[in-house]
Chain A
């Protein structure tokens, strides 16, 4: 009788575990929006790349970084 009661209690406990909602962190709830390389659709953009073309966008940013922030390209 006592053994059966223990088994029933364990079974009840496990059942309770299975119905509990997961508490793990989920992936972001935020909308992620479109990738930056898709552009803004306006004319106020830097020249030298094609909106929607990821590689040209990346390349233009690299060139812009080297030209604008690496003064060793100019003085050395």
Chain B
């Protein structure tokens, strides 16, 4: 099996926020924590684009690199998870992440920053699958239930795709061929280290600017 990946098709996303709601509901994510968000570029201007953003489960994850206590790990399916029993809530991962995925619940009178919380690709955490402890810390473990992330399965326009990277890329490729445009996948190259489809290579882009 290829690695698990997300793709958000900006040509299809209508900013309905159902992915955000599905995630919130599925894992009972507390107020102030958004494992997934919808970001709109050029909001209000004709041609605006919306994209659904969460942890991209990067191939070479910056959060893993900077974590001082090494609380992150990667599953065999390429899902980047973390151990909240090890996390000290320092926030380094938040600064390192290009997607703003790490979230920190604010609790108490002085808004004490708690342990980091982020998208788990609905894969839970290191606790026993389906256990109360896993639910309390990481939310529901849909992968262990033979299901895919709730956000992608709930997406009404199928803008957000999540699952086996080979199939996800194949679905997206078919779309691009059919409609003849919209090959750009925001965040794909950043997360997975590949050049974004339809985009010029980095040196050419740099020359264009200069």
Contact = CB atoms under 8 A, between A and B. Distances in A.
**A and B physically associate:** yes
A70 interface: yes
Interface string B62-73: 001100011111
A36 B86 contact: no
A6 B189 CA distance: 54
Given A40-B130, A64-B146, A69-B153, A30 B86 contact: yes
B149 to A, nearest CB: 10
Interface stretch (B37-45, B46-54, B74-82, B94-102): B74-82
B158 A69 contact: yes
Interface string A6-45: 0000000000000000000111111111111111111011
A10 to B, nearest CB: 34
Interface in B116-170: 123-130, 141, 143-148, 152-153, 155, 158, 161-164, 167-168
Nearest to B125: A33
B145 A68 contact: no
A32 B126 contact: yes
Contacts of B197: none
B90 interface: no
A32 B75 contact: yes
Interface string A60-71: 111011101111
A28 B125 contact: no
A70 B12 CA distance: 13
The residue in A29, A40, A46, A58 that gathers the most chain B C-beta atoms within 10 A of its C-beta is: A40
- CB-based closest 9 A-B pairs: A40-B130, A30-B83, A46-B146, A33-B126, A65-B163, A31-B126, A28-B73, A36-B143, A45-B145
Interface of B: 1, 64-65, 69-73, 75-77, 81-83, 85-86, 123-130, 141, 143-148, 152-153, 155, 158, 161-164, 167-168, 171, 174-175, 178
